[in-house]
Amino acid sequence: MPKFLTKYFTEIELRKNLYLLLIWRFILVMILFSICRVAFYLINKGYFPNTSFSGMMRLMRGGIVFDITAVLYTNLLYFFLFLVPFAFRYNLIFQTAMKYLYLITNGLALLANCCDFIYFQFGFRRTTASIFSEFKHETNLGALMPKFIVGYWYVVVIWLALMAILYFTYGPFHTSKSRTLKDRRAQLILLVSGTVLFVVFATLIVGGLRGDLKHSTRPITLSNAGKYISEPLEANIVLNTPFAIYRTISKQSLEKETFFNSEEELDNVYTPVHKPVVDAPFQKENVVILILESFGCEYTKTYGHNLDGGTYEGYTPFLDSLIGNSRMYLQSFSNGRKSIDAMPSVLASIPMMVEPFLLTSYSADKINSIASILNGKGYYTAYFHGAPNGSMGFQAFANAAGFKDYYGLNEYPDKKDFDGSWGVWDEEFFQFFAGKMNEFKQPFCTAIFSVSSHHPFVVPERYKDKFKQGPMPIYQCINYTDYALRKFFETASRMPWYNNTLFVITGDHTSQSVHLEYKTNLGAFRVPVIFYKPDGSLKSVVDGLVQQIDILPSILGYLNYDQPYLAFGRNLFNPKEEPFVITYTANTYQLVMGDYLFLHNGLIETGFYNARTDLLLSKNLIGQYPEIEKKMEEKVKAFIQQYNNRMIDNKLTVEK
């Protein structure tokens, strides 16, 4: 330890008081957690345009409550061993071991906080315990890790600086009493006083873990961050990542709700059961669904035509041309913020609520999907993803969803086309996709998930200088995948099945953003959702709402499917079904209906905005439109009750 710090600790007599040392070490980690909170805000400042200095101070104060709990959980073993009233505490070897226990556990906690400086930009929430399930099937993490370290080197530097502070300000070992403890009277005094202090500290620790010493107070959870915020995303400033992980370990993600007393009353407000009545015969057209990695609306000229004073050109010239000949909706959204959210949303009309469906215990529930439903109509179904088989749990879900075949890296013939990170380059895998479909018997339903527009944001070496670059590395990857999409359609257009095919194209989620309107808690869900027919019969622009969970019921509606099924979205081709969009972020349900965005934390309304005119969501209108707010609150509660109860009761299909 530096001499000036040794002198400081000596002057306040920390050497003479074991318990002052413990308090100092607790305060030290608390300070470092607060530094992490400031760093988190500064790195992600663009996502909080409405957070003022006074607001930030409020968030910092609120964060202390969650930091106390996280620091105590992180150091439970350390505190216990430190407080037990026995003489071995004064042993130099013991104290050395304790120092490294302290450095390792707190170092990991600080690392978790630092990782979310960046990971927040992709998930729009603090990392929870589901992260361990999300990446447990990945076989390429070892190859990816050095790329992440190089790409986000400044995060590594911040963490190392925090670790240096932790190491050099740890404080001196307390060994001065070890020589006097041979005296029985000294041992008795130590035991009695130590036991009393153990009980006192243990009581305070229990209170800190719960968030309060009151018996009536429930232990604080992620939702308690709502007490300090003015908009949902600010909850991520209040929280810290270790707290989010600890509080979600072995937790059931959903609870049954009884907002409505009867099923009839509930169904009158909202039901996911579709009972189509059609006069026309079923159309046995092919269905091809393309889910494009990280394709947000912001990257397109069509959706972003008003950006940069109307001069924005975007990075997806081919997709823009396709959108111009498709059925597109001006208000277009994903239902999640991660890749694993997209498959259930797009293919089974199951949105991400609270936790990704694939990572919950409900993922074993019986579901209907576009594959299982069309299998019953004689379709051949197949799913394509160029990553190593098993990546992200996609193969397991495709199997559970009823796809007859799965084509991944294992099935791809030329492994030299692997990009070294995530999977086969999009250009080559899209061509493989088109070729395989030419071998399938019609009608078929296929889906593909692209991989190239993903960190570490590189394109094939032969195209190093070909694609348009922008303020962030992802832009050239978006431009590359758009090129791969162009080549796919050029190939597909020459094949006999092409004209008899409905194409549905969407992004899985948004990614890094530059423009403020795409950094809000609503703008962060803006992805294209388009329906394309080669004959141009669907060409239209709809000034309305669409979300990923609308894809399944809309495909079935387009095909004139005539059997009941369950889907949480709506059939876009049925004008009688009420338009809405629902998403979940920062422990908040977000419902869009008409021009308005309604926020609800599962208990009470927390926000109300005019989403059409207030793009930055800076003016909270809560309480100013009571009739509209009441209607939207009923819709949110009905959706929550239908979603939670059906998940828990395994009722995600319609009994026939």
Instruction: Give strand ranges (E) for 348-464.
Output: 380-385, 405-407, 444-449
Residue 419 token pair:
């990009």
What pLDDT shows up at residue 382?
98
User: In 3D, which of 249, 318, 281, 335 has the Cα closest to residue 70?
Assistant: 249
| pLDDT over 60 (residue 185) | no
DSSP state of 453: S
Q: What is the enclosing helix (H) or strand (E) of 71? A: helix 53-74
> pLDDT band for position 440 (50/70/90)?
very high
pLDDT in tens, 541-550: 999 999 999 9
Q: Which residue has the tokens 């397109």?
A: 300
CB 61 within 8 A of CB 237: no
What pLDDT shows up at residue 188?
56
> pLDDT band for position 173 (50/70/90)?
low
Whether the ω angle into residue 528 lies within 30 degrees of 0, i.e. cis, is no
Whole-number Å distance between alpha carbons of 115 and 107: 12
pLDDT in tens, 578-590: 999 999 998 899 9
CB 280 within 8 A of CB 562: no
What pLDDT shows up at residue 138?
64
Q: Is 23 left (phi over 0), alpha (psi -120 to 50) or beta?
A: alpha
Mention every residue, 6+ apart, whose C-beta is less than 8 A from residue 188: none
Q: What is the enclosing helix (H) or strand (E) of 40? A: helix 18-43
6 or 613, which is more confident: 613
Give CA angle at 566 (563, 571), nearest 5°. 75
Q: What is the enclosing helix (H) or strand (E) of 113? A: helix 92-123
CB 274 within 8 A of CB 557: no
Mention every residue, 6+ apart, whose C-beta is less than 8 A from residue 482: 315, 316, 317, 318, 319
What pLDDT shows up at residue 148?
79
pLDDT in tens, 8-54: 444 444 445 677 888 899 999 999 999 999 999 999 998 898 899 99
CB 78 within 8 A of CB 207: no
Domain ranges of the chain: 3-248, 299-575
| pLDDT over 70 (residue 191) | no
| pLDDT over 70 (residue 615) | yes
What pLDDT shows up at residue 22?
84
What pLDDT shows up at residue 133?
66
The beta-carbon contacts of 2-9 under 8 Å, at least 24 apart in sequence, are 2/168, 5/168, 5/169, 6/172, 9/171, 9/172
* 501-507/565-566 β-pairing: unpaired
CA atoms within 13 A on the CB side of 187: 8
> pLDDT band for position 358 (50/70/90)?
confident
The gap from C-alpha 581 to its chain's centroid, in whole angstroms, comes to 17
What pLDDT shows up at residue 15?
44
Stretch among 257-261, 448-452, 461-465, 606-610 having the lowest mean pLDDT: 461-465
> pLDDT band for position 81 (50/70/90)?
confident
Residue 549 token pair:
């969970």
| pLDDT over 60 (residue 179) | no
Q: Which residue has the tokens 């306040």?
A: 12
- Per DSSP, the chain holds a count of helices (H) and strands (E) of 20, 14
Instruction: Give strand ranges (E) for 324-438.
Output: 327-333, 380-385, 405-407
> pLDDT band for position 333 (50/70/90)?
very high
Q: Is 420 left (phi over 0), alpha (psi -120 to 50) or beta?
A: left
| pLDDT over 70 (residue 155) | yes
Residue 397 identity:
F
Instruction: Give strand ranges (E) for 71-144.
Output: none
Residue 261 identity:
N
User: In 3D, which of 636, 654, 638, 647 has the Cα closest to residue 360?
Assistant: 647
User: In 3D, which of 82, 98, 68 has the Cα closest to residue 242?
Assistant: 68
Stretch among 150-154, 181-185, 246-250, 641-645 having the lowest mean pLDDT: 181-185
Whole-number Å distance between alpha carbons of 574 and 587: 32
Whole-number Å distance between alpha carbons of 128 and 587: 12
Residue 602 identity:
G
Whole-number Å distance between alpha carbons of 244 and 40: 15
User: In 3D, which of 286, 496, 270, 495 has the Cα closest to residue 370?
Assistant: 286
Mention every residue, 6+ apart, whose C-beta is less than 8 A from residue 373: 552, 556, 561, 563, 565
| pLDDT over 60 (residue 107) | yes
Whole-number Å distance between alpha carbons of 83 and 256: 42
Give CA angle at 86 (80, 87), nearest 5°. 125
What pLDDT shows up at residue 14?
42
What pLDDT shows up at residue 127?
87
Whole-number Å distance between alpha carbons of 158 and 164: 10
CB 191 within 8 A of CB 127: no
Mean pLDDT of the chain: 89
User: In 3D, which of 504, 139, 521 has the Cα closest to residue 345?
Assistant: 504
- Partners of residue 529 on adjacent β-strands: 506
Residue 630 identity:
K
Stretch among 251-265, 441-455, 491-505 having the lowest mean pLDDT: 251-265
CA atoms within 13 A on the CB side of 381: 20
CB 566 within 8 A of CB 373: no
| pLDDT over 60 (residue 299) | yes
Q: CA dist 459 to 246, 420, 430, 469, Å?
A: 38, 11, 15, 11
Q: Which CATH architecture has domain 299-575?
A: 3-Layer(aba) Sandwich (3.40)
What pLDDT shows up at residue 142?
66
CB 342 within 8 A of CB 508: yes
Q: What is the enclosing helix (H) or strand (E) of 532? A: strand 529-532
> pLDDT band for position 370 (50/70/90)?
very high
Q: Whole-model pTM?
A: 0.82
| pLDDT over 80 (residue 534) | yes
136 or 322, which is more confident: 322
pLDDT in tens, 392-434: 889 989 998 999 999 999 999 998 999 888 899 999 999 999 9
**Backbone φ and ψ of 531, nearest 5°:** -120, 120
What is the signed CA dihedral for 220, 223, 224, 227, rounded to 10 degrees?
180
pLDDT in tens, 195-221: 766 677 777 777 767 766 554 345 777
Q: What is the enclosing helix (H) or strand (E) of 597? A: strand 596-600
What pLDDT shows up at residue 166?
95
